[in-house]
Amino acid sequence: MSENKNFIMDEINSVFDRFANLLERDIKGVHIGCYSVALISLTIALRKVRPFSKFKRPNDIPNHFINEKRELTGQVKSIDPNGTLLMVEHKPLVDIPLIKSGQLPVKISGINVSGLGMNWIQSVVVNREIKFVPVSKDADFLQCQVILVQKNKNKRDELLNVGESLVKIGFAQLAPTHSLAQDPALLSYFKKLQAAESVALRNQLGLKYYIKPTKAALRSLARNLTNLSKYLTFVVQQQIQKVPQMARA
């Protein structure tokens, strides 16, 4: 009887040991599976967010950044006058000094900047931090909404829409944006540009209001010069006619 009990206990212990070993192997497998899933998820997240990437060219910007209207940060280093482009040093979420920086060409979406606007950008925006939201990318530049970060009187960050401000003071005009205007997420931005243009027109600001008075002044000057020329010609002719009389005298 005692031997049977011992045999049964040995069998129970043996079964328990086998079950424990099997369970331990399964738990290790579960842990490995969890770690693998976590690693894959982290890799996908890093690839999607790109926290270490310093964008230098338009093609560096992932398409989903444009589709999601992902806000980026950078510092305007200079202006390329040929294309009215802001040369921006992009700042990633995690800045690693070992990764070299470059200058990403950014064009303010929806507007054409005048010469006065270029001077304004040079004075107000260059060497300042901006936030820019990609709208579309071309081969040579990235079209963006551009927001200037500046401090108000209370030393708090204040955001200034650069495109809207340029249009409102008459230093830029609206550009054709037929394809972009179909994007519902951008309609608000373009409506703000249109409202800014209405303000400029109401206050008679912008290039067209400088050209018209200049043309009128030039026409007036031309008329005055013509009249002066006719008068001088008449005076000279009168003096020439008096020469023979003066010679006989």
**Residue 225 domain flag:** no
% pLDDT > 70, the chain: 62
pLDDT at 198 over 70: yes
Looking at the fold, whether 39 and 142 belong to one and the same domain comes out as no
Residues 87 and 196 in one domain: yes
- 57-to-8, 37, 102, 141, 188 alpha-carbon distances in Å: 75, 33, 8, 8, 27
Distance (Å, whole) CA 196 – CA 201: 9
Answer whether residue 240 is part of any domain: no
- Does residue 216 fall inside a structural domain? no
| Residue 153's CATH number | 2.40.50.90
Report the range of poorest mean pLDDT among 86-95, 142-151, 211-220. 211-220
Per-residue pLDDT at 214: 43
Are 69 and 182 in the same domain? yes
Does residue 80 belong to any structural domain of this protein? yes
Half-sphere exposure of 112 (CA within 13 A, CB side): 7
Quote the CA–CA distance of 46 and 145 in Å, as a whole number. 25
Indicate if 194 and 71 belong to the same structural domain. Answer: yes
Q: Is residue 116 part of a domain?
A: yes
Looking at the structure, do residues 31 and 62 belong to the same domain, yes or no?
Answer: no
More confident residue, 191 or 106: 106
Same domain as 66, residue 45: no
Q: Which residue has the higher pLDDT, 76 or 158?
A: 76
Q: How many domains does the chain have?
A: 2
Specify if 217 maps to a domain. no
Q: Is residue 223 part of a domain?
A: no
Same domain (yes/no): 77, 189: yes
Least confident residue range of 76-80, 158-162, 234-238, 240-244: 240-244
Number of C-alpha atoms within 13 angstroms, CB side, residue 225?
A: 6
Range of the domain at 38: 1-49
Could you tell me if 71 and 125 lie in one domain?
yes
Q: What is the pLDDT of residue 199?
A: 84
Q: Distances from the Cα of 216 to the Cαs of 13, 82, 170, 222, in angstroms?
A: 109, 30, 20, 10
**Together in a domain, 132 and 168:** yes
Residues 125 and 36 in one domain: no
- Give the confidence band of 130 by pLDDT, cuts at 50, 70, 90: very high
Query: How do residues 18-50 score in pLDDT, each as one tens digit?
Result: 656 655 665 655 545 554 545 555 455 445 556
Q: Which residues contact 200 (CB under 8 A, 6 or more apart)?
A: 167, 168, 169, 170, 206
User: Does residue 68 sit in the same domain as residue 139?
Assistant: yes
Evaluated on CA atoms 109, 114, 120, 123, the torsion sign reads positive
Q: Compute CA distances 247 → 234, 236, 239, 241, whole Å.
A: 21, 17, 13, 11
How far apart (Å, rounded) are the C-alpha atoms in residues 205 and 88? 29
Same domain as 134, residue 80: yes
Is residue 243 in a domain? Answer: no
Contact (CB, 8 A) for 173 and 206: yes
- Give the whole-angstrom CA distance, residue 177 versus residue 86: 19
